[in-house]
Homo-oligomer: A and B are copies of this chain.
């Protein structure tokens, strides 16, 4: 599912380590586009913090949504566990939207249609934990 960047893997230590945080970035990790073009989303970046290079059965990612931005409305069999780290947002679970704030944890059950969007004046940032061997998302 995840295409490993061989060059990057060779440069990074894959052993035990501390990955330093500063201003919503982590040492050695570059923000990347959230997703390919051709699917509806706006103003979202992703930082892949841990998992694929470590051969872990789960991956830790951090997503940041600029004011006005949103993720794709989609569903998939794999579960999402989200932890809000920054700003204010709203999460759609099926037909209802709920506001979420710092520290809130969101569980997205298998096949639940879902979407996240920023609702404040500052970026809305959250961790998202997923299983490593997961099915592709289906845009809705």
Contacts and interface: CB of A to CB of B under 8 A. Distances in A.
A85 B83 CA distance: 11
Query: How many copies of this chain are found per oligomer?
Result: 2
Nearest to A51: B81
Given A16-B94, A16-B112, 8 more contacts: A16-B106, A18-B105, A19-B104, A19-B107, A51-B81, A56-B81, A57-B58, A129-B129
Contacts of A114: 16
A114 B85 CA distance: 26
Given A129-B58, A129-B60, A131-B57, A103 B50 contact: no
Interface of A: 14-22, 24, 26, 49-51, 54, 56-58, 60, 79, 81, 83-85, 91, 93-94, 98, 100-109, 112, 114, 127, 129, 131
Nearest to A130: B58
Given A57-B58, A58-B58, A79-B54, A105 B16 contact: no
Which one of A51, A85, A103, A112 has the highest number of Cβ atoms from chain B below 10 Å of its Cβ? A103
A16 B108 contact: yes
A67 to B, nearest CB: 21
